[in-house]
Structure 1
Amino acid sequence: MKKAIHAIIDFFYPPFEKYIPRQTFRYAVSGGSNAALNLCIFFLSYNFIFTDNVVYFGNIALTRYIAAYAIALSFSFPVGFLLNKYIVFQESDLKAEVQLFRYATVTAMSIYFDYALLHFLVGYLKMWATPAQALIIVILSLFSYFFQTYVTFTKKKQKH
């Protein structure tokens, strides 16, 4: 499966090889695909699964869009981790548990920063919501790429 996914992604790489490394291209394709999956699941959950404005999970009440976000994240989080671990950063020799914890940490930070930056840009700077979210996606994608490359999926330092 890994070889097939690499072959598909790498088929589209040649026009970009002068500009970005293969790993960065794989990260962009994997991340973009995972973001599309997240958005599709969010759309389906929001429009077809959750029809009431407030959704109850036992004693927990969530707004419809937060419930849809939670469902989408429950799919895109493991898919994103697996794509990063086995497609983008397969040379990392850190234990999977360490990688998963670090990946979860980056995801939690991204959720927090997305929320905070959206409130700042829209609420205080009065930017339009969609361009603000697009800017946030670019910022958080860069942050995530560098964190995943140099922390989450890094190689252990060799002892000499």
Structure 2
Amino acid sequence: MLRRIILQIIDFFYQPFARVMPRQTFRYLACGGGNTAMDILLYFICYNFVLQKEMIHLPFIDISAHIAALFMSMAVTFPTGFLLSKYVVFSDSNLRGRVQLFRYFLLVGICILLNYFLMKLFVDRLHFYPTIGKIFTTALVVIFSYLTQKKFTFKVKQQSPG
């Protein structure tokens, strides 16, 4: 039922974009954008109010508040991103759920590394202003993520005739 409500809302807003992009792409952008906004909000709340910008002292390691907040927000947005991708965006995939989850986990890890290395490239090597570098990085990572999810993580296996 929740899936149906989410799809009705997204598809209502899809109409003006129908001529410029496929429905699945719009659903991906809507779900990914919503999940990203939630990630930023959770990060802000965790960093400023839960952790109060203070280091976390564990028995064998100290973790800075900005890194701890990153993990805290990802603890929520990783599963919501997976569930939105699985049930809203790429619901026609016939791969097993655990295969999808493992592939999604790999993809998120690759996207984190891509973000890091592309920011280093654009800002440190090419001397882009950081915000401009982040815009280019985000655009490239979103394109990579969409194509990877569509063709790998949530692909539709062809059924053998039979």
Shorter-chain TM-score: which interval? over 0.9
In the alignment, what sits opposite 1:143? 144
The secondary structure found in structure 1 opposite 2:62 is strand
Superimposed CA distance per residue, residues 86-120 of structure 1 (whole angstroms, 9 cap, x where no aligned partner): 00011111000000011011100000111111122
In the alignment, what sits opposite 1:159? 160
Residue 35 of structure 1 and its aligned partner are, at CA, apart by 0.3
The secondary structure found in structure 1 opposite 2:156 is coil
Distance between the aligned counterparts of 1:135 and 1:72, measured in 2? 23
Residue 51 of structure 1 and its aligned partner are, at CA, apart by 2.5
In the alignment, what sits opposite 2:108? 107
In the alignment, what sits opposite 1:16? 17
2:157 is matched by which residue type in structure 1?
A: K
Residue 53 of structure 1 and its aligned partner are, at CA, apart by 4.6
In the alignment, what sits opposite 1:118? 119
The secondary structure found in structure 1 opposite 2:106 is helix
1:156 is matched by which residue type in structure 2?
A: K
Gaps of 5+ in 2: none
Residue 84 of structure 1 and its aligned partner are, at CA, apart by 0.2
1:132 is matched by which residue type in structure 2?
A: G
In the alignment, what sits opposite 2:47? 46
| TM-score, length basis structure 1 | 0.95
In the alignment, what sits opposite 1:87? 88
1:5 is matched by which residue type in structure 2?
A: I
Residue 78 of structure 1 and its aligned partner are, at CA, apart by 0.3
- Residue 52 to residue 29, structure 1, CA distance change in 2 (3 Å): closer
In the alignment, what sits opposite 1:29? 30
1:2 is matched by which residue type in structure 2?
A: R
Instruction: Tell me, yes or no, if structure 1 residue 3 matches structure 2 residue 10.
Output: no
Residue 52 of structure 1 and its aligned partner are, at CA, apart by 4.3
In the alignment, what sits opposite 2:60? 59
Gaps of 5+ in 1: none
Residue 64 of structure 1 and its aligned partner are, at CA, apart by 1.6
Q: Which moved more, 1:115-124 or 1:31-40?
A: 115-124
Question: How many pairs are equivalent?
Answer: 160
Identity %: 38
2:151 is matched by which residue type in structure 1?
A: Y
